[in-house]
């Protein structure tokens, strides 16, 4: 009994894998046999197009149709890659199989285009890219490599981040050369890098005082070891230039604010096995701030430190906002000089111990101060709404 929805490529797969495999042919193929194989390939490609239509309309539900098209597309790409690898075989000339394989490749490309044109809505960025398209992309990257470097240098970027970008492009080219399977979203990622470098018109975000490439490295989510090491060492060097802990804290808070407002490419991350570069540095900077704030408390004179530790708050005011929302209000008040103190930290230290929320009696001064630089849109909207209500209320006084 024939299995329902069996492997539809079985005939074409066997034809390519065995009958057109140069390593399995000790003698050159005869002319008539080659012609027959060309005809079989062409006939099988036409049959498969009809088979796709039949299977597609017989499947119940969109999800099963999408799964069938996606699986079939990737199967076609893998057959293209296999046929292409045979054209590069050392015995290809002696076997005289090259014309047949070229016909098979043309038929498979026709099949791939048939799926793209008729079932595009079911194809996702996770689909595989054929080796022929990947080789074209590799050639494009290699031909533009020096020009891309020249553009980055001309935009006053240091050599080190430029080399980080070139290293990422080189690694991708090596991946193609080694025959690894590559998804469309990954190929598009490197096309985006090339386009961004060629068309970059200057900073549009908070890093206006940094090399332009810094902004792009963060946008690309280029979380390679080289990139993370570059930013980490750079931050450590700046930290060493600060004479005091307060100076280091001010620098870190400024960096946290800048990193949090930078956009990220939502579609791809360079190394999906690790956190995004934005997440990495947000966590890194937050931990450093917490460490330095605790260290700063340790440097207070003993009597002052004891007084701070033993201080009993006489009462607390319950606020119907969350801790994150309160932190945004306090930071804004400090920066507008509505509340004047020697630093933003001092504002939080003076006020937060007297506050509680519906869900939290004891708020963490350090955590709230850090959160004030990580405001989420939802919290911002709540705070803005409350302030607008206060404005209307005050107008009526």
pLDDT value, residue 113: 94
The three-state secondary structure class of 319 is: strand
Give 293-313 pLDDT, tens digit per residue. Answer: 777 655 555 555 455 545 544
Which of 38-42, 164-168, 198-202 has the lowest average pLDDT? 198-202
The three-state secondary structure class of 384 is: helix
Q: Is the pLDDT of residue 263 over 70?
A: yes
Confidence of residue 3 (pLDDT cuts 50, 70, 90): very low
Percent of the chain with pLDDT over 70: 91
Q: Is 0.85 surpassed by the pTM of this model?
A: no
Give 148-177 pLDDT, tens digit per residue. Answer: 999 999 988 999 999 999 999 999 999 999
Tokens of 230: 């570059």
The answer to whether residues 187 and 214 touch, using CB atoms and an 8 Å cutoff, is no
Give 315-353 pLDDT, tens digit per residue. Answer: 678 888 898 899 999 999 888 888 887 778 888 888 888
pLDDT value, residue 2: 45
E strand or H helix that includes residue 207: none
pLDDT value, residue 358: 83
Q: Is the pLDDT of residue 223 over 50?
A: yes
pLDDT value, residue 393: 86
pLDDT value, residue 314: 54
Task: Round the average pLDDT of the chain to a whole number and report it.
Answer: 86
Beta-carbon contacts of 41 under 8 Å, excluding residues fewer than 6 positions away, are 12, 15, 100, 103, 104, 107
Largest CA distance in the chain: 101
E strand or H helix that includes residue 318: strand 317-319
Cβ-in-10-Å burial (0-12, 13-18, 19+) of 41 comes to: buried
> Pick the residue with more confidence: 302 or 139?
139
| 184 Cα distance to chain centroid | 14
pLDDT value, residue 312: 46
Q: What is the rounded CA–CA span in Å between residue 294 and residue 282?
A: 18
């Amino acid at each position: 009994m024939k299995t329902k929805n069996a492997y539809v490529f079985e005939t074409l797969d066997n034809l390519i894998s065995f009958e057109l495999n140069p390593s399995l042919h000790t003698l050159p193929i005869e002319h008539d046999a080659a012609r027959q194989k060309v005809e079989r390939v062409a006939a099988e490609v036409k049959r498969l197009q009809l088979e796709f239509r039949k299977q597609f309309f017989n499947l119940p539900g969109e999800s099963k149709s999408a799964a069938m098209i996606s699986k079939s597309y990737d199967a076609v790409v893998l057959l293209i890659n296999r046929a292409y690898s045979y054209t590069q075989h050392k015995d290809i000339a002696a076997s005289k199989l090259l014309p047949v394989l070229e016909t098979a490749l043309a038929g498979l490309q026709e099949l791939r285009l048939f799926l793209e044109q008729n079932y595009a809505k079911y194809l996702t960025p996770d689909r595989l890219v054929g080796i022929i398209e990947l080789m074209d992309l590799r050639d494009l990257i290699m031909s533009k490599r020096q020009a891309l470097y020249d553009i980055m240098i001309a935009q006053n970027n240091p050599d080190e981040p430029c080399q980080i970008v070139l290293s990422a492009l080189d690694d991708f080219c090596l991946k193609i050369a080694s025959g690894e399977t590559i998804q469309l979203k990954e190929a598009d990622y490197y096309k985006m890098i090339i386009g961004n470098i060629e068309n970059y018109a200057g900073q549009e975000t908070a890093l206006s005082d940094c090399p332009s490439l810094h902004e792009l490295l963060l946008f690309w989510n280029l979380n390679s070891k080289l990139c993370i090491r570059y930013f980490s060492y750079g931050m450590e060097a700046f930290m060493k230039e600060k004479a005091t802990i307060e100076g280091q804290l001010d620098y870190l808070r400024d960096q946290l604010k800048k990193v949090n407002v930078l956009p990220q490419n939502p579609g791809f991350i360079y190394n999906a096995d690790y956190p995004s570069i934005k997440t990495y540095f947000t966590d890194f900077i937050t931990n450093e701030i917490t460490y330095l704030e605790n260290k700063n408390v340790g440097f207070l004179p003993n009597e002052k430190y004891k007084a701070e530790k033993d201080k009993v708050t006489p009462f607390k005011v319950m606020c119907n906002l969350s801790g994150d929302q309160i932190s945004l209000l306090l930071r804004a008040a400090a920066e507008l000089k509505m509340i004047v103190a020697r630093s933003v930290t001092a504002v939080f230290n003076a006020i937060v111990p007297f506050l509680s929320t519906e869900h939290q009696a004891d708020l963490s001064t350090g955590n709230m101060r850090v959160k004030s630089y990580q405001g989420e849109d939802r919290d911002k909207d709540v705070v803005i709404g409350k302030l607008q209500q206060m404005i209307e209320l005050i107008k009526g006084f």
